[in-house]
């Protein structure tokens, strides 16, 4: 995960509880909360932002057409459990039946789907710490998209509360378990420039 700079805001010199962190972290500050420590996040690349915008627009069209719930791009906090960090995923989706988890400034509980767009500096964190946290916190589906390596991994929470890696079909199409009917063509993610959103939406049957 990469982010735009946080307007030069300096992290507090002491540990904060999560309520103090939320009060300190305004909507222009890009940061996460880990064991009381404020972790600032790095500036975003052009490719990262373009991919985030493409996925946001494409997913939102599909979600709204099916009336499935709400999609939030960063910055928006998610705290999956009382003993787990507060994170700002690149994208998070909350199904209609779980909208009660939404508070004014954060999601109190797991999203149904989280998307992280991997950067070189975040690769270990996204694949290690966050994967373990999202699994423990009950995030039903986790997408890891690495544009530099042209790799994408998709995890779905199993019956025992453990992630299983979902294989992509030989046609390069991933079918989401959480967003029924959503089929992500991995070729879209590596195109330069990225596809037009309307073309992706037509493939998904959202636009005629």
| Total of domains in the chain | 1
Give yes or no for a contact between 3 and 126, defined as CB atoms under 8 angstroms apart.
Answer: no
Query: Would you say the C-alpha torsion 201, 181, 134, 190 has a positive or negative sign?
Result: negative
Domain range enclosing 180: 42-203
CA pair distance 187, 174, nearest whole angstrom: 11
Q: CA quadruple 41, 51, 126, 122: dihedral positive or negative?
A: negative
pLDDT at residue 119, as a whole number: 86
pTM: 0.85
Give, in degrees to the nearest 5, the angle at Cα 99 between 70 and 86. Answer: 85
DSSP letters, 96-112, are: GGGGGGB-SSEEES--S
Quote the pLDDT of residue 9.
Answer: 64
Q: What was the pLDDT predicted at 165?
A: 97
Note whether residue 134 is domain-resident: yes
CB atoms within 10 A of CB 33: 25
Q: Would you tell me how many other CB atoms lie within 10 Å of the CB of residue 58?
A: 23
The reply to whether 79 falls in a domain is: yes
pLDDT tens digits along 55-71: 999 999 999 999 999 99
Q: What pLDDT score does 98 carry? A: 98
pLDDT for 13 = 78
Kindly state whether residue 7 falls inside one of the protein's structural domains.
Answer: no
**Is 5 part of a structural domain of the chain?**
no
For 64-128, give the DSSP string: HHHT-EEEEESS-EEE-STTS-EE--SEEEEEGGGGGGB-SSEEES--SEEEEE--TTTHHHHHT
How many H helices and E strands in the chain? Answer: 6, 13
Q: Is residue 157 part of a domain?
A: yes
User: What local confidence, expressed as pLDDT, does residue 105 receive?
Assistant: 92
Residue 6 falls inside a structural domain? no
H or E stretch covering 37: strand 37-40
In a domain, 19, yes or no: no
State the burial class of residue 57 (Cβ atoms within 10 Å of its Cβ: 0-12, 13-18, 19+): middle
Whether 162 is in a domain gets the answer: yes
Q: What is the CATH number of the domain that holds 164?
A: 3.90.1570.10
Q: How many CB atoms lie within 10 A of CB 64?
A: 13
Burial class of 76 by CB neighbour count within 10 A (0 to 12, 13 to 18, 19+): middle
**What's residue 1's pLDDT?**
46
For each successive 10 residues of the chain (208 residues), what is the average pLDDT?
Answer: 48 86 82 86 83 98 97 95 94 98 96 94 89 97 96 96 94 96 96 96 91
């Amino acid at each position: 995960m990469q982010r735009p700079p946080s307007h030069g805001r300096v992290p507090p010199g002491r540990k904060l509880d999560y309520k103090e962190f939320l009060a300190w972290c305004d909507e222009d500050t890009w940061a996460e909360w880990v064991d009381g420590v404020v972790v600032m996040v790095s500036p975003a690349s052009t490719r990262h932002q373009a991919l985030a915008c493409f996925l946001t627009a494409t997913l939102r069209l599909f979600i709204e057409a099916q009336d499935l719930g709400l999609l939030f791009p960063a910055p928006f906090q998610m705290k999956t459990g009382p003993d787990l960090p507060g994170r700002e995923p690149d994208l998070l989706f909350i199904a209609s039946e779980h909208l009660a988890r939404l508070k004014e400034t954060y999601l109190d509980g797991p999203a149904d789907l989280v998307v992280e767009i991997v950067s070189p500096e975040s690769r270990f964190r996204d694949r290690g710490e966050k994967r373990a946290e999202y699994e423990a916190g009950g995030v039903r589906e986790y997408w890891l998209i690495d544009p530099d390596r042209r790799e994408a991994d998709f995890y779905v929470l199993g019956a025992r509360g453990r992630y299983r890696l979902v294989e992509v079909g030989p046609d390069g199409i991933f079918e989401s378990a959480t967003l029924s009917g959503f089929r992500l063509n991995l070729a879209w993610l590596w195109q330069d420039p990225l596809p037009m959103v309307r073309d992706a939406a037509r493939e998904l049957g959202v636009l005629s």
